[in-house]
Amino acid sequence: MCSRFVVNKNFNRSFFFLYKYIPSGHYDYPRCIKCDCDSAGTLEPICDTYTGTCLCKENVYGPRCDRCIDGTFALLSDNPKGCTNCYCFGSTTLCHSGLFNYRVIRNMSDWSLTRSNIRFDRREARLSLFMNYDNNDQSPIYWSAPRPYLGNKILSYGGNLTFKLSYTSTTNNYDPVLNKHPFVILRGRDLTIAYYYPRPLEGNLPDEEISITLKEANFRFQTRSSTAVTRDTFLQTLSNLSSLHILAWPYTSDTTTSSIVAVQLQQADFKSITSFSPQRPVARNIEVCSCPANYAGTSCETCARGYYKQYSGTNGAHSYTCVPCQCHGQSDMCDVETGHCLACQHHTTGTYCESCMQGYNGDPTQNITCRICACPLAIESNNFASTCEMNVTTGETTKCFCQQGYYGDRCQSCYPGNFKIDFLLLISMNCFSLLG
C-alpha cells in the first residue's frame, strides 16, 4: 500500500493532490510499482511517475538506464556521467568495454637511481638507499623503473601501482618535505605527469604499503597548481611510457636511509579475453576500439603493420595519422615512429628501400628491379662489383665498378698486394690483402 503525502519531485506541485500517495522510487498510482532502474546509470533512485522511465545520467540511455550511448563505454556507478567517452586516439568514436583480468608486473631487478653517485644495495628484492649528507646536491632522488614497467602501458589504465617503502631519520620530526616533491612521476610522449602523496609518511617504522590507481584524477602536470590531467592526455602518456620514477629521498629534512620493495603494476591481460575469470581482479576501464584498418591496439594507440605515424599540428607529439610506409614496394614494414623501412626485400637497401644492395643495379624509386651484376659472374659468390651499369631491356652488364682489391673490366683480377683464394673448385674467387 502507498505511503501518504509522498510525491515524486519531478512533477509540478499543482498536481500534488493527484500524486500525494506515490512514494519516491515508485510509479503508477495506485499500484505503486517500484522503479526498475540500473543504479549505475541513474542520477537518483526515482523514475517517471506515469511510465516508470528512469532518469538517466548524461551518457546513458534506455528505459532502465542500463546502456551507454554511442561513442561511450563502461557503465559504472562511480562515473558521474555513467559511461566514459571513447578516446581511441581520435581515430574512431566506436568502442566497447573490454572484459579482461589483470595480471601483475613484478621485477625488482635493474632498478636504478636518478643520481648515479648515491649508493644503494639490492638484497632479496629490496632496494635500500644510503644518503651522504656531505653531498651538496639536495635535489630529490628517485627510483627509476626498468623496462618491464615501461613502453605501451595502455592496458594499465585504471590499474594499481603498489609498493612498500620505509625510511629512517635522525629526529623523526615528521617534517612534511615529502609533500613538496612529486611522489611518483610518469613520462611519455613529451608529457610529464605527477602524483603527490596526500600526507606525510612517518619514519623509523615498518614498511608502509602504497597503492596508486592509474587514473587521471590522481595526477597533475608538473606541479599541483597546474592544469588537471585529462583522460586523453593520461592515455597518451601511458601509450609510450619512457620513465616511471618513485621518490627515494627525501621523506623528511633528515632522511638517512630509505628502502622500497614489492613494486607491482597491474596490467589488463589481453589473453584473458578467452579465459576470463570473475574471481580474479577485473579491469573495468579498458576501452576496446573499432579501429580503422591503418590503426592497431585496444585504443588505436599505434599503427597497423605497413603504416607509420605522421605527426601534425601544434600538438604534434600527440596528434598523428597512420599513413602507409614509403618503401617503394620493397617492404610492408616500417618503424611506427620514424617511418624508416624494415626488412627491405628484392636486394634493396636504404632508409626507404630506395637503393640496390652492393653488387646490384636498378632503381627501386622508378620501379626498376635490382638485378645482380655479372662481375665477373651473375652469382653471389662470384660478384665483386660495388655496382655496375646494365642494359635495362636485356639485363646484360655493360660496365663493372669493382670493390676494393679487384680490377678488370669484369672485376676478374686482384690488385698487386692482394692474393686470390679459390673456394669450392673455382666457383668462388676472393682477393685478400697481404697486409691484412
Give the distance, in angstroms, between the CA of residue 327 and the centroid of all CA atoms in the same chain.
26
> Quick one: which of 345, 335, 330, 329 has its CA closest to 307?
335
* CA–CA distance, 268 with 329 (Å, rounded to integer): 37
Q: Evaluate whether 303 touches 311 at the Cβ level (below 8 Å).
A: no
pLDDT at residue 118, as a whole number: 87
* CA–CA distance, 146 with 344 (Å, rounded to integer): 32
Q: What's the alpha-carbon Rg for the chain, to the nearest Å?
A: 33
| C-alpha cell of residue 52 | 516508470
216-246: pLDDT as tens digits? 999 998 765 567 899 999 999 999 999 999 9
Upstream peptide bond of 45 is cis (omega within 30 degrees of 0)? no
Phi, psi (deg, nearest 5) at residue 431: -95, 130
* CA–CA distance, 266 with 238 (Å, rounded to integer): 13
Q: Evaluate whether 171 touches 254 at the Cβ level (below 8 Å).
A: yes
> Can you list the domains of the chain with their CATH numbers?
13-74 (2.170.300.10), 100-270 (2.60.120)
Where do runs of H (alpha helix) occur along 326-435?
A: none
Q: Collect contacts of 28-36 with beta carbons under 8 A, ≥24 apart.
A: 28/52, 29/2, 30/2, 32/1, 32/2, 36/64
Enumerate residue ranges in the chain where pLDDT < 50: 1-20, 315-317, 421-428, 434-436
For 420, the 3-state DSSP assignment is: strand
Residue holding cell 597512420? 322
pLDDT at residue 116, as a whole number: 86
pLDDT at residue 17, as a whole number: 41
* CA–CA distance, 289 with 359 (Å, rounded to integer): 47
* CA–CA distance, 406 with 413 (Å, rounded to integer): 6
